[in-house]
Structure 1
Amino acid sequence: MASIQHNGAAATAGRTASDGLARLALKSDGVVTGLNGLGYLALATVLDSFFGFDTKVQYPVGVFLLVYGIGVLVLGTRETINRNGLGLVLVANLGWAALSIVVLATDALTPTGAGQVWIVLQALVVGGFAALQYTGLKRL
């Protein structure tokens, strides 16, 4: 009986050493963003009073973040990283970070103190993902 030996080469055929950072940045972003979206959906009524964000805002944002996170995660797990897709995620993340600061500066959501801190933290995390994705894109 013949046996087949698998050394993993076929599984990583499309992956290169230069796409490691981009792949890590996309996967991490996808997981964190998806979990954030799940948190908004599962805890909306609790977060309503804690952060000061109305559930009418949290539910659609939660759905968006969950779907977006899944899309980013899928992009990061493809055999070959799509440069255009990575660039689009990078721009979207920069937009989210900038919009977070605008929302905070204009008091658009009238957040509590904890909500203000949360907005800043989200902007920093998303901006950090964008920086990693930019560096990863340059390495592709």
Structure 2
Amino acid sequence: MNTQIKNPETSTGSSARPVLLLDAGMCALSGIANLAGARLLDDLLGPSVLTLAVLGGVLLVWAVGLDWVAARRPIPTAWVREIALFNLLWVAGSVAAPFLLDLTTIGMIWCVLQAVVVAGFAAVQLRATR
């Protein structure tokens, strides 16, 4: 009989992989939209073209990193916990953005919606580490 015991400090259950991949996909889509459509989005959302392009690049790099972590077998629990914490930092930034940037009403709504979605990812990721 071959029995494997999961070490909670070194691996997560299968619930982490799908949410990491979904998080990666959403970041990639948002990153591509920010990079490709920065000139259109600056009027719609409010931030400058440069700000949107930088955010797009950051999101694409983050998406690649999330995809890479999701491909690990097993996925280290500590990594998922760190990803969740970085997502919570993104939530804080999204909540602060309307106070720091000159956003349109649509831009403010986008920041709040983004914060809610990313907070959901963080919650599921933290749950997967238990």
Q: Tell whether the structures are fold-level matches, with TM greater than 0.5.
A: yes
Aligned to 1:97: 91
Cα RMSD, aligned residues only: 1.4
Whether contact under 8 Å (1:96, 1:126) holds in the other structure is yes
Aligned to 2:43: 49
Aligned to 1:121: 113
Whether contact under 8 Å (1:31, 1:70) holds in the other structure is no
Whether contact under 8 Å (1:30, 1:72) holds in the other structure is yes
Equivalents in 2 of 1:73, 1:135: separation in Å? 19
1:136 has 2:128 as partner: yes
Q: Sequence identity of aligned pairs in percent?
A: 32
Aligned to 2:71: 77
- For normalisation by structure 2, the TM-score amounts to 0.87
Which amino acid in 1 is paired with 2:109?
A: V
**Farther-moved stretch of structure 1 (37-46 vs 69-78):** 69-78
1:32 has 2:26 as partner: yes
SS of the counterpart of 2:68?
A: helix
Q: Structure 1: which 5+ runs fail to align?
A: 1-13
Aligned to 1:22: 16
Q: Structure 2: which 5+ runs fail to align?
A: 1-5, 7-11
SS of the counterpart of 1:20?
A: coil
Whether contact under 8 Å (1:97, 1:124) holds in the other structure is yes
- Larger radius of gyration between Structure 1 and Structure 2: 1
Which amino acid in 2 is paired with 1:57?
A: T
Equivalents in 1 of 2:18, 2:54: separation in Å? 27
Q: CA deviation at 1:71?
A: 0.4
Which amino acid in 2 is paired with 1:36?
A: S
- For normalisation by structure 1, the TM-score amounts to 0.81
Equivalent of 1:68 in 47, 58, 62: 62
Q: CA deviation at 1:103?
A: 1.7
Equivalents in 1 of 2:92, 2:47: separation in Å? 18
